[in-house]
Structure 1
């Protein structure tokens, strides 16, 4: 890898990928939407990233930006990833998760380049899973239950189409829950940590408002996930699908365990939590636990930071943000 383009570089995963590759001395390029992209996650790297202004919904802008960069590696992290608003804005999610991906692929074809491109799918694509179907594998049937998941399936399959039709080096992954510093507080664990940090500073009553907490997941620390993505882009076969997520028994937990673990770390006694229907999805996905054996056997990837570290780092991050 000499010229790495990270779309969505100012987001959660994109910023951690930037940390990884800037630290390795790789030449890193990032798209930003002119003055609209929040820079908080990459402020410490801003002068070490080559910035290109590009609105990825505009195919001509994407083609021009790719021509300017001519990357040999692309991590396509630009997306809408928070599930709940996808019911109210399905067209926006299709634009962000499908159309922007098509624009990126077309830009590569127009500029006659064939970089390795990683597209990060989601465990949400599997949707309704029965207990007897666990753990989830690459062959598990997809039963999506929200518009977000449908758009990610569309993104994944168009990646397969462009690989089969044009020979693009598209690496297809489906990542299960990954957490840690910089994840937006609209998501479960950072939402719990954010509220506890507010309570510790006297900015909120000692009651956490939460959504459904009995869903089970295998949780992976963001540091381990970006390490997995680096292995995937280097070693995985284009066109093939790989599931990524910690397979350690100690990393399979419910959100109830997460919220109680965050509360237990607080400096304030007596904090409790209650279900608030505003944070409950229209349809739940109770079970998302994967078997990453295919990926692990190919790459040798092994997570090093467990569930307890996720809770420590997430709460520490939100304490810092509110200090």
Structure 2
């Protein structure tokens, strides 16, 4: 019998790459999707053959992290071997506009799924992955940031992630769950949502090059981030759940770059000068900024055998190339 995985946030960037990885490894994959009047499955549509073909190993289930009863019933019915909780209201700037919703889904949502593990009776067999975030470090207390660095979140999103992170530790210690948190630094790809700064930039570069857009409006260009490739980071998630003992791990590149540097790489890919197209818009500023993020992934390298291969410049070029091809 193949291993069975359950993924929340399966239609997102990380969920789609993780689904590909698990299907390649022979898993049966079940994903939680929210019911909506419009379909939001573009990132996993290419996996249609696994959902309907002779090798049917992909199953989607309607549900929501706001609905604890449905989570208990679903986990009891599926009896998964691994659970990856990737679902969240994940936009940091938006979290200031919808703090209560962010806290409910990003924070309390993790509490609901952890409690569903206990209530469904699968706690002794299942392995759980919680998607933690470098935004938990916020106003950083140490450079670079590692697993032992104190948290100082600077947004409702960061605060919600801290709650979910510590609750995962609490359930691990209280109920002897195999529960891990991956503290992932910024990880991007052509599947990144268009409202996130890296994808906003790569898409604008492609549109400007094709004559379909004239300007790009951004906020703080001095923020420094540790950017990696999402497709490589989901491998780290999987490796965490294959260990003998559960633990928490930072996944990062141990390099930091400003948004200006990302602009330089992205516009440079098509031989354009970003200064000619980028304009400042204060509406994109956060009430409290995170100035510097850079992660130390040495623990993941030593224990998981994981390390990143795609650095910022190559990542920016990869994203621009994908958006140019998509526009046609």
TM-score (normalizing by structure 2): 0.91
Q: Distance in 2 between matches of 1:55 and 1:129?
A: 33
Partner of 1:31: 32
Structure 1, unmatched stretches of 5+, are none
Q: Deviations over 1:21-79 (max 9, x none)?
A: 11222111111113455101101113422111112211111111112211000111011
Q: CA deviation at 1:274?
A: 2.4
CA pair 204-145 structure 1, distance change in 2 beyond 3 A = same
Partner of 1:95: 104
The equivalences for 1:163-312 within 5 A come to 163-205=172-214, 207-235=215-243, 237-238=245-246, 240-247=247-254, 251-266=255-270, 271-312=276-317
Q: How many residues align?
A: 316
The equivalences for 1:10-159 within 5 A come to 10-35=11-36, 38-48=40-50, 49-114=58-123, 115-129=126-140, 133-159=142-168
Query: Is the contact made by 2:265 and 2:317 (CA closer than 8 Å) also made in structure 1?
Result: no
Give the stretch that moved more between structures: 114-123 or 194-203: 194-203
Q: Distance in 2 between matches of 1:237 and 1:163?
A: 11
Q: Distance in 2 between matches of 1:257 and 1:269?
A: 12
CA pair 105-314 structure 1, distance change in 2 beyond 3 A = same
Query: Is the contact made by 1:236 and 1:298 (CA closer than 8 Å) also made in structure 2?
Result: no
Q: Distance in 2 between matches of 1:222 and 1:59?
A: 29
Q: CA deviation at 1:267?
A: 5.9
Q: Distance in 1 between matches of 2:302 and 2:66?
A: 37
Q: Distance in 2 between matches of 1:56 and 1:142?
A: 25
Q: Distance in 2 between matches of 1:311 and 1:25?
A: 31
Give the stretch that moved more between structures: 166-175 or 259-268: 259-268
SS in 2 for 1:135: coil
Query: Is the contact made by 2:250 and 2:297 (CA closer than 8 Å) also made in structure 1?
Result: yes
SS in 1 for 2:194: coil
Q: Distance in 2 between matches of 1:236 and 1:123?
A: 25
TM-score (normalizing by structure 1): 0.92
Q: CA deviation at 1:266?
A: 2.1
Structure 2, unmatched stretches of 5+, are 51-57
Q: CA deviation at 1:292?
A: 1.6
Q: Distance in 1 between matches of 2:62 and 2:268?
A: 44
Query: Is the contact made by 1:182 and 1:317 (CA closer than 8 Å) also made in structure 2?
Result: no
SS in 1 for 2:139: coil
SS in 1 for 2:80: coil
